[in-house]
């Protein structure tokens, strides 16, 4: 859909529809009052008759309003003005977009971006309006033989700002919003694909395709033989039961200063998670194709950074596997030596995401990262603790915690901090190995998952986002949400504007220093690294 920004009087807009707000109880917004004046009280008379109260979600479509040039005027309820916050504003925008799309208004000029949202400025309102509009109209029908076709879909929308002075910041907000919206769509599309299509190898191919977007973006894929040689035994233990070979996908984006240490994003990429030998219940197992939402969100956030040409150095690492039971599968009680050299007793094969992330965290050390953030649909316990609205955030560095929480608040893609105290660590003790991958009791499952990962993240500032409850919607409207792409992208935008970034724990090393692979080989597959078919998904016991 096409988005534009402009400033102008509502009665002078020659368009299919002009959208304005009405507050509860039956109070015209400032822009609606302008239309009411030129129409000699037409809107006021309608409100007095009780046709619209102004409650959130109410709409009234008017035709041929006197004194205006638009074909229609759409009145949208905004609730009580003093109660109009972030959540309510997004609901108002979503309802307006649905109504425009369903009533055949192929284009519209929307003045809802001039509503008074508590504590929010023009840039924020434009950002949220565009992101909400795209999310409202999203539909995944790639695999349907007969698609639902709207005869007159909404194709163009112009969002208004109050004065011409606001145009510059609004245009920048629009640019950021459209990049985020496209990134969210990419993430949703990948996560909604079935696991017989979206395999580890498919994810690798999508990562390579992203390299065509920017000359500063490069990609390398490590295949099974490379992983065996380097000692990714925890990751390989998860993949043993599947016919789909694992892949470690590494992307680098270099647009920052030469000596700036990179931000590393790690995304859990289990394209299908049956639980392995610790088999999940059959009910809702189809949703386990979403266990690669962490990987999809990393690709989405990276694509947004590239689209916006953020002046940063970024590295994305995606361990991609499929977790299935077979005669070759890892068994409960097996012990593996991770890439870090630490040994892990695998008490439950459905707590697999932390195993692949452990090796990926160790691999990240070679980049001397400024910060590392892993994103994973890790634990069902996080869903119980926080439900659907908030990601679980656990971190070993308070300034990084605050950055992520603030990015979540601004973007509307919020996280909530859970403790990462040493008090929990002894619950992962094992009699036979350095640690177990789960605890023997069900307490604090989300925190223990992060405690396990923290043992592989001691050499850098690190944060863990558990998105098990936020990455997808269950039920009739089931599907991926695209979260936490808005949070991650806002974090990267904030970092790109901040000259006082957090210093890394380890000695500073330029991103252009020797890499784990030769950049000249990127964007082409050498014989050693040729892709084979693959597949993935989410986890069970400790993991969603």
Q: Is 77 helix (H, G, I), strand (E, B) or coil?
A: strand
Residue 171, pLDDT score:
97
Cα distance between residue 238 and residue 331, in whole Å: 10
Residue 513, pLDDT score:
28
Return the number of other C-beta atoms located less than 10 Å from residue 82's C-beta: 9
Residue 503, pLDDT score:
46
Residue 539, pLDDT score:
35
Pairing of strands 391-395, 462-466: antiparallel
The pTM of this model reads 0.91
Q: What is the pLDDT of residues 204-213, one digit of tens each?
A: 999 999 988 7
pLDDT-above-90 percentage for the chain: 85
Cα distance between residue 110 and residue 74, in whole Å: 9
Residue 512, pLDDT score:
28
Pairing of strands 59-63, 27-28: unpaired
Whether 325 and 277 have beta carbons less than 8 Å apart is answered as yes
What's the CATH class of domain 181-521?
A: alpha beta
Contacts 24+ apart (CB under 8 A), 339-342: 339/230, 339/231, 339/232, 339/233, 339/234, 339/235, 339/363, 340/456, 342/434, 342/435, 342/455, 342/456
Q: Is 274 helix (H, G, I), strand (E, B) or coil?
A: coil
> Helix %, strand %, coil % for the chain, to 5?
40, 20, 45
- DSSP E strands in 294-414: the ranges are 313-323, 334-337, 343-346, 371-376, 391-395
Cα distance between residue 247 and residue 203, in whole Å: 9
Taking each helix axis from N to C end, the angle separating 398-411 and 485-497, rounded to the nearest 10 degrees, works out to 120
Residue 534, pLDDT score:
32
Distances 454 to 46, 117, 153, 339, 428 between C-alpha atoms, Å: 61, 39, 48, 15, 12
Closest CA to 82 of 163, 11, 25: 25
What residue has token string 């009145």?
Answer: 75
Low-confidence stretches of the chain (pLDDT < 70) are: 499-544
What's the CATH class of domain 2-162?
A: alpha beta
Cα distance between residue 134 and residue 439, in whole Å: 42
Peptide bond into 484 cis (omega under 30): yes
Pairing of strands 472-473, 479-480: antiparallel
Residues annotated as catalytic (active site), given as ranges:
280, 354
Residue 540, pLDDT score:
34
Closest CA to 320 of 349, 288, 345, 357: 357
Look up residue 467 and give its two tokens.
């998105």
Residue 514, pLDDT score:
28
Contacts of 206 (CB under 8 A, 6+ apart): 190, 299
Residue 516, pLDDT score:
34
Burial class (CB in 10 A: 0-12, 13-18, 19+), 445: buried
| Domain boundaries along the sequence of the chain | 2-162, 181-521
């Amino acid at each position: 859909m096409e988005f534009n920004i402009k400033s102008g009087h509502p009665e002078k807009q020659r368009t299919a529809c002009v959208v304005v707000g009405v507050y509860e109880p039956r109070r015209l917004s400032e822009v609606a009052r302008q239309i009411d004046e030129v129409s000699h009280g037409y809107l006021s008379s309608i409100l007095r008759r009780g046709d619209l109260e102004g409650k959130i979600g109410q709409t009234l479509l008017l035709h041929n309003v006197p004194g205006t040039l638009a074909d229609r005027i759409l009145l949208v309820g905004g609730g009580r003005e003093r109660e109009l916050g972030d959540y309510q504003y997004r609901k108002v925008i979503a309802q307006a977009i649905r109504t425009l799309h369903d009533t055949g208004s192929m284009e519209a000029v929307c003045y809802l971006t001039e509503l008074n949202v508590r504590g929010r400025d023009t840039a924020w309102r434009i950002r949220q309006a565009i992101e909400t509009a795209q999310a409202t109209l999203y539909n995944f029908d790639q695999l349907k033989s007969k698609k639902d076709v709207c005869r007159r879909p909404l194709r163009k929308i112009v969002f208004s700002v109050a004065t011409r002075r606001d145009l510059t910041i609004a245009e920048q907000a629009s640019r950021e919003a459209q990049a985020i919206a496209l990134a969210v769509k990419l993430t949703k599309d990948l996560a909604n694909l079935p696991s017989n299509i979206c395999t580890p190898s498919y994810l690798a191919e999508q990562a390579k395709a992203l390299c065509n977007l920017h000359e500063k973006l490069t990609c390398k894929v490590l295949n099974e033989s490379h992983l065996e040689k380097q000692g990714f035994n925890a990751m390989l233990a998860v993949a043993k039961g599947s016919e789909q070979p694992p892949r470690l996908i590494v992307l680098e984006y270099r647009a920052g200063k030469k000596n700036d240490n990179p931000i590393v994003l790690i995304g859990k990429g289990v394209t299908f998670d049956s639980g392995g030998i610790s088999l999940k219940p059959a009910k809702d197992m189809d949703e386990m194709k979403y266990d690669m939402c962490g990987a999809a969100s990393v690709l989405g956030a990276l694509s947004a950074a590239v689209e916006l040409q953020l002046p940063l150095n970024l590295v994305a690492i995606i361990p991609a596997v499929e977790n299935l039971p077979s005669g070759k599968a890892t068994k409960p009680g097996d012990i593996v030596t991770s890439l870090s050299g630490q040994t892990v007793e695998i008490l439950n094969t459905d707590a697999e995401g932390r195993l692949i992330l452990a090796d990926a965290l160790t691999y990240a050390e070679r980049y001397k990262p400024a910060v590392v953030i892993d994103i994973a649909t890790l634990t069902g316990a996080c869903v119980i603790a926080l439900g659907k609205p908030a990601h679980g955030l656990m971190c070993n560095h308070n300034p990084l915690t605050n950055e992520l929480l603030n990015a979540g608040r601004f973007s509307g893609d919020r996280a909530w901090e859970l403790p990462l105290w040493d008090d929990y660590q002894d619950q992962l003790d094992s009699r036979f190995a350095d640690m177990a991958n789960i605890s023997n009791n069900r307490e604090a499952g989300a925190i223990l998952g992060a405690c396990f990962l923290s043992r592989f993240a001691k050499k850098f500032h690190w944060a863990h986002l558990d998105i098990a409850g936020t990455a997808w919607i269950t039920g009739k409207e089931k599907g991926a949400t695209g979260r936490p792409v808005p949070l991650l992208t806002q974090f990267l935008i904030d970092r790109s504007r901040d000259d006082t970034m957090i210093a890394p724990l380890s000695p500073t090393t330029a991103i252009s220093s020797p890499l784990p692979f030769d950049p000249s080989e990127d964007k082409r597959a050498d014989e050693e690294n040729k892709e084979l078919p693959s597949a993935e998904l989410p986890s069970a016991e400790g993991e969603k």
